[in-house]
Amino acid sequence: MPLDNLNDLKEQRAGKIAEMRQLNDKAAEENRDLSGEERKRFDTLEGEVRGLNARLSDAEKLAEFERLEARGETVHGNGTERRSLERYSLSKALTESRTGTLTGLEAEWHQELGRDRAEVRGVMVPTDVILGGESRALTTGGTAGNLVATDLAAMTDRRRAALKVEAMGATVLRGLSGNMELPRLVGSGSAGWVAEHGDSNRSDASFEKKAMGPKTVSAEYELSRRMLLQANQALEPILRADLAYLLAQALDSAGLKGGGANEPTGILEDADVQTVTGGAFSSDITADLIAALQTDDVTGTTGFLTNPGVMNTARKTKDADGRLIPLAELFHGERVESSTQVPTDIGTGSDKNALIYGEWASLYIGYWSGVDLLVNPYHSDVASKGGALLHAFLDADVVVRHPEGFRYAEID
């Protein structure tokens, strides 16, 4: 349902509630109950308000689903116009931000994303455009010289680690503003049989909270003067692919083994996430991981995540007759993925591989606003050269909301 219809419904509800208030106030001023006609009208209005509440609830849900499906956000006006991020240009936003004169779609997104922030430096960019520290200099000499056009062919990307945390099914919260607490029930009461007219057995439920708050991950590039002048066309794929990847890679890694303090606490560093006995890879270990979650009554979408070393061992596992055992049998029909992001240096001797099994929706990833990009031509490293430093900042956090939803084993 269009947003205008939502507003119409809200106005109708407000009008009917106001009329109910008038009827009630009039009777109160005259120190009497509602008359028969007033009661009839009041009850009619009450039924209409309840009906409008139900329609509003359905309309708001539908509007939210449509917003998510559109993969865009409203940036101005009455909310009916959606902007396609495919038309968003990072290079244009950065070029214009240097002069402080953002225009068009980039200006609208910047205003929307910076609306609730006391101070905005640089330009705010939607997280769907760029996510992603590593520092490097880009000049027109060396390999970066290939980006200065006579004619620019399509740029090929470098090899990158697969980022799996969100893809495994982590719960993603976007557009956060303040700190967030995630409450959960950790202990239920008990029920018991009693004699007729006997007292019930009293027991208590217990609760705990997991807190989320913005933590900052950053990346930085040094851009030469010629790079800024000549390679505007080539900056777009670099910014979208490489800089975004750096931020996303850092967040993905933190979700797996973030150590707390300045970075989030990941699955392998969460003190409440338990291990099962590891050793040489075998189907017995994967069975033990599955059983551990089932014992804790964990339900939901589950799967294994490990690194290529463990996967290589699994692919070579043979039965007593020397035949390869399919991965589906070794992992008991569960989904299994691998990434070089998964550590190879856990355990007492820092020489073990991680094999993680989990109900991945128990891992929460929160994003605060968009990515903050700042072009700084005044830093002493670049000022005398006519270049600029490009800084990217992302405020995000990762929390294991339900530690019982994960187990891991240390594999030789």
Q: What is the CATH number of the domain that holds 247?
A: 3.90.1690
Q: Beta-carbon neighbour count of residue 189 at 10 Å?
A: 10
Highest mean pLDDT among 2-16, 104-118, 139-153, 359-373: 359-373
Distinct helix (H) and strand (E) counts, the chain? 10, 13
The confidence score (pLDDT) of residue 93 equals 78
The mean per-residue pLDDT over the stretch 151-175 comes to 73
Model pTM?
A: 0.64
* Dihedral sign computed on CA atoms, order 73, 112, 134, 398: negative
Domain that holds residue 24: 3-70
What is the band of 66 on the pLDDT scale with cuts at 50, 70, 90? Answer: low
Q: Is residue 117 part of a domain?
A: no
Give the domain-ending residue among 70, 91, 113. Answer: 70
The mean per-residue pLDDT over the stretch 245-260 comes to 89
Give the domain-ending residue among 48, 70, 92. Answer: 70
CA distance 267 to 257: 6
Q: Is residue 89 part of a domain?
A: no
**Could you give the number of structural domains in the chain?**
2
CA angle 129, 130, 135 (to 5 degrees): 160
Are 41 and 128 members of one domain?
Answer: no
Strands 215-223 and 274-279, by their bridges, are: unpaired
Q: Does the pLDDT value for residue 157 go beyond 70?
A: no
Are 39 and 146 members of one domain?
Answer: no
Q: Is residue 83 part of a domain?
A: no
Are 204 and 64 members of one domain?
Answer: no
Q: Is residue 209 part of a domain?
A: yes
Are 14 and 157 members of one domain?
Answer: no
Q: Does the pLDDT value for residue 110 go beyond 70?
A: yes
> Considering the chain, what is the average pLDDT of its residues?
79
Q: Does the pLDDT value for residue 300 go beyond 70?
A: yes
What is the band of 302 on the pLDDT scale with cuts at 50, 70, 90? Answer: very high
Are 149 and 223 members of one domain?
Answer: yes
Are 390 and 286 members of one domain?
Answer: yes
Are 252 and 394 members of one domain?
Answer: yes
By mean pLDDT, which of 62-76, 83-97, 148-162 is the weakest? 62-76
Q: Provide the percentage of residues in the chain whose pLDDT is more than 70.
A: 75
Q: Does the pLDDT value for residue 50 go beyond 70?
A: yes
Looking at residue 307, its amino acid is N
Is pLDDT larger for residue 238 or for residue 211?
211
Are 26 and 168 members of one domain?
Answer: no
CB 386 within 8 A of CB 225: yes
The confidence score (pLDDT) of residue 330 equals 96
CB 340 within 8 A of CB 305: no
Are 64 and 142 members of one domain?
Answer: no
pLDDT tens digit string along 372-408? Answer: 888 888 888 888 888 888 888 888 999 999 999 999 9
By mean pLDDT, which of 33-42, 317-326, 382-391 is the weakest? 382-391
Q: Does the pLDDT value for residue 146 go beyond 50?
A: no
